[in-house]
Amino acid sequence: MESCVYRYAWDAPRDHTVPFRAYSHGINEEMPPGMHGLPQGGPDWLFIYFYDPCEIILGETSENLAGESLVICTPGTIFSYGNPKNRWRHSWLQCTGTQIPVILQENGLAPLQSVPIPRPVIVERYLMRVFAEVSAHQNPNQRLLQNIFHNWIIEMSRTVRHLASDRPPAPKALEETKRYIDLHVAEKISLTQMACMSHLSVSHFSTLFRRYYNASPIDYQVHRRMETARYLLEIPGLSVTEIAERTGYAELYRFSRMFKKRFKMSPSVYRKGLLLEKNAR
């Protein structure tokens, strides 16, 4: 992911009795050498994803992290983290709610332990959805944010189980190309460009991509664009034309045709259905 940083703090009163509430988060934030943390403990949950090798100190326990790993800090935990010698990057989510421990237990993710997540896009994709919601609305929909959080935990849990299985992971170059597709849905990326990113021929790249991800590269690209479009349609301030541009379609007609092919309805009809569902609650 580029060096740009999405960072947001929502200034809302603390309420730890609600099912879920997001307070602040950062995505791909680069830090200077040094340690950070809460020596007195904090009132919220903190999910920290480390891209680079770092050290985390939880109470009297210290652990050296190899990078590409997540640590979940519970409310009241005394901790510090960082790298005293080198620059380091992390993404993070600060939140509270009675449903957080329930969701974690259901999906087998234990707090205060490092969890290997070798696919940073899993973290970035969901935090970007959080950012889209809290930055677009004065009063973000906490139920929607809880759903985003829940889906994030489910996908991370699947990744952990996958790593524990006998199936070998996708080659790193292939995974990086897939990550690039995930994060650049508005960009026109040809099959030849994708293959070059992976340092493979077009035919070999296409074969490997289908083997590991159960879809052709182009079909996967369209899938990511349509899933992004479906999410953006939940934001009232964005027009369908803007959403088409944000998902890589210069022509509204082509975008609408692709959306209807996937979801059996036009983007406008899909958005009207969302509005009716919201009003019926």
HSE value, Cβ hemisphere, 13 Å, CA-based, for 17: 0
* pLDDT score, position 2: 46
* CA–CA distances in Å: residue 17 to residues 96, 99, 142, 201: 9, 10, 13, 55
* pLDDT score, position 165: 62
As to burial, measured by CB atoms within 10 angstroms (0-12 exposed, 13-18 middle, 19+ buried), residue 211 is exposed
CB 225, CB 233: distance < 8 Å: no
CB 120, CB 179: distance < 8 Å: yes
pLDDT tens column, 186-243: 999 999 999 999 999 998 999 889 888 878 899 999 988 998 898 888 887 889 999 9
Q: What is the mean pLDDT of residues 65-92?
A: 90
Q: What does the block give as tokens for 232?
A: 């953006």
- Give dist(CA 41, CA 47) in Å, integer: 14
pTM: 0.64
Amino acid at 260: K
Q: Which domains does the chain have, with CATH numbers?
A: 6-164 (2.60.120.280), 173-280 (1.10.10.60)
pLDDT tens column, 239-266: 999 999 999 999 999 999 999 988 889 9
275 versus 179: which is more confidently predicted? 179
Q: What does the block give as tokens for 149?
A: 């959080």
